[in-house]
Amino acid sequence: MSRAFADISFTPSVKAAQSLYGSREANRGFEQVEEKRDSLLAQDMEFIAARDSFYQATISENGWPYVQHRGGPAGFLKILDNKTIAYADFSGNAQYLSVGNLFASDRVSLILMDYARRRRMKIWGHAKIVHEEDDVRLIARLEMPGYRARVERAIVITVEAVEWNCPQHITPRFSETEVQGLLAKLLAEKHQLEEQLTQKTAPAKPTSLGNGPLELIITGVRQLSPRIRAYELRDPAGKDLPAVSAGAHLRVPVLLADGQAATRPYSISSAGGQTDCYEIAVLAEPGGRGGSMAVHDLYALGMHLHCDFPRNDFALHAHIEHAAPAVLIAGGIGITAIKPMAAQLSAQGRPYTLHYAGHTLNTMAYRTELQMQLGASLHLYAADQQQRMDIHSIMKEAGQDSLFYICGPASMIAAALNAAAALGIDPQRVRFERFAVQKSNQDEEIRVELARSKKVIHVRADQTILQAVRAHGVVAQAECETGNCGTCAVKLLGGQALHRDAVLTEAERKDRICICVSRAQEGELVLDL
Ligand code: FES
């Protein structure tokens, strides 16, 4: 206990009480201690600077004390020097109880609490009210950054006594910030343990997938855009790979999240004719059928993939006049099929232009590479920069003698086919490849009779005929499952087909249907299955 505290607090009536209750002798010693403690020590200042609240008692002229709780950002009670502390008095409820009391008596008593560490500090002092016009620099010094209320006045307290109490009867309490600080370490440890547990329990990633005849090893992985990753594939022994032409695709094995083994076709985006390696680029589609996510999750350097041999359902025209200009149109990930076409046309010295559309320049795979290689032959369209690709104008300008190759979303292909029809362009001069099954919100359930199997099945609106046929145990061949290859085409025995493939000719469409994409015009079909 300090002498200054005893000098102030041990009034005659207090001493009388001490005498009455037998503690006078014990307390008398405090009045003689050497240390006066009427100013702040370093540890006092550190404690004050960390407080975000305190209690302040003032005395009214009728003798009633008034205790006020004051709160603010930590450190709002400022230390001006070792004898002076001060705080800003903001505009409040306009009762002015504490301020009014200071008009009558400048004596204040403060209690500062640290509940978390069970510490309590008491300060006695003389308080002075200072207005802005009296000391503008002081007011500025007491302002709290980010606290927008107006400072009406400063309360400056000259310290007369400092006293610390024992922690007895202080219940530990913690502010939200203190709790967060304590929890942060625990949460970090919990996170670390969870990660260790995940690593221990996660199934080991496969080192080999598939059972196709072409074994390849992943020798390179490149992130082309935030969602597109390219994989370089080579023969494990370094031998040459089967030669492919532009537009070819490779069917690769995937292990879906539900543990099911499947295969997915991806365009070979490396140049046709390149036999030391293939490159495929895969767009991660969280809402897709799971293949692309499985590739992104599991494909890693050194993994062996047993693939099918490449095939090409989207080749450049081989038998049309060599000098016919080619117009290449790509949307999004469709560039993977179009890019090698540009390389092949360049190598053959054939005239072409490439029109490439995407959401933003940064998400357009191979953009920089194409800009460097193709120069003025490349036209980019970034939707976020309001650069719209006008397919009708492009095809009109190119003219009926051009050859057209389109790979992109269904809407892009539909626009190209509509433009070709409107411009009288021979359908034989327009080739396209979809990279997803074309669907329509207007699709309804259809009834399909399988004549040879003697079954009638109902194909839900969200199903393809191929999926429904297989779900009923009927074997049906398929390859691309996007209407590009014709493998799934079956004889149409009855009903009117709604053709959505990119492979059947008009003549073939009279009695054949690609069941991986096409549906019925009037709700019913009879198939030779
Ligand atoms: S499986 Fe290729 S068109 Fe249907």
| pLDDT: which is higher, 151 or 77 | 77
Regarding the domain with residue range 208-312, which homologous superfamily does it belong to in the CATH classification? Translation factors (2.40.30.10)
Beta strands 78-81 and 430-434 are unpaired
- CB 264, CB 292: distance < 8 Å: yes
Is pLDDT above 80 for 202?
A: no
- Find the 321 Cα to ligand 1 centroid distance in Å: 29
Mean pLDDT of 167-192: 85
Average pLDDT, the chain: 91
Taking the mean position of all CA atoms in its chain, how far away is CA 220?
25
pLDDT band at 436 (very low <50, low <70, confident <90, very high): low
Whole-number pLDDT of residue 404: 96
Domain ranges of the chain: 38-165, 208-312, 326-434, 446-527
| CATH class name, domain 38-165 | mainly beta
Asked if residue 313 has its Cβ within 6 Å of ligand 1, the reply is no
Q: Which residue's CA is minimally distant from atom 3 of ligand 1?
A: 483
Q: List 21's β-bridge partners, or say none.
A: none
Closest ligand 1 atom number to CA of residue 478: 1
Q: What angle do CA 229, 235, 240 make, to 5 degrees?
A: 115
- CB 256, CB 290: distance < 8 Å: yes
Over the stretch 405-429, which tens digit does the pLDDT of each residue have?
999 988 899 899 999 999 999 988 9
Asked if residue 433 has its Cβ within 6 Å of ligand 1, the reply is no
Whole-number pLDDT of residue 199: 73
| pLDDT: which is higher, 317 or 205 | 317
Q: What angle do CA 129, 134, 137 make, to 5 degrees?
A: 100
Ligand 1 pocket mutation, candidates 311, 470, 488, 518, criterion most atoms within 8 A of CB: 488
Whole-number pLDDT of residue 165: 82
Asked if residue 389 has its Cβ within 6 Å of ligand 1, the reply is no
ipTM reported for the complex surpasses 0.90: yes
Phi, psi of 25 (to 5 degrees): -65, -40
Whole-number pLDDT of residue 29: 84
Asked if residue 513 has its Cβ within 6 Å of ligand 1, the reply is no
Domains 326-434 and 446-527 share a fold: no
Helix (H) or strand (E) holding 155: strand 151-165
Asked if residue 488 has its Cβ within 6 Å of ligand 1, the reply is yes
Asked if residue 483 has its Cβ within 6 Å of ligand 1, the reply is yes
Over the stretch 239-257, which tens digit does the pLDDT of each residue have?
999 999 999 999 999 999 9
As a CATH number, domain 446-527 is: 3.10.20.30
b/e string for 369-383 if b means 16 or more Cβ within 10 A? ebeeebeebbbbbbe
Q: 216-230, 315-329, 339-353: which range is least confident on average? A: 315-329
Closest ligand 1 atom number to CA of residue 486: 3
pLDDT band at 357 (very low <50, low <70, confident <90, very high): very high
- CB 74, CB 175: distance < 8 Å: no
- Find the 516 Cα to ligand 1 centroid distance in Å: 6
Helix (H) or strand (E) holding 164: strand 151-165
pLDDT band at 320 (very low <50, low <70, confident <90, very high): low
Distance CA 252, CA 262 (A): 9
Pick the closest to residue 466 from 509, 500, 515 (CA basis): 515
- Find the 484 Cα to ligand 1 centroid distance in Å: 6
Alpha-carbon distances of 195 from 73, 258, 297, 298, rounded to whole Å: 37, 22, 17, 18
Distance CA 517, CA 143 (A): 70
Asked if residue 265 has its Cβ within 6 Å of ligand 1, the reply is no
Torsion sign, CA atoms 253, 471, 478, 404: negative
- Find the 466 Cα to ligand 1 centroid distance in Å: 9
What CATH number does domain 326-434 carry, 3.40.50.2300, 3.30.70.1140, 3.60.15.10, 3.40.50.80?
3.40.50.80
Pick the closest to residue 52 from 85, 79, 74, 78 (CA basis): 74
Torsion sign, CA atoms 143, 147, 152, 156: negative
- Find the 511 Cα to ligand 1 centroid distance in Å: 16
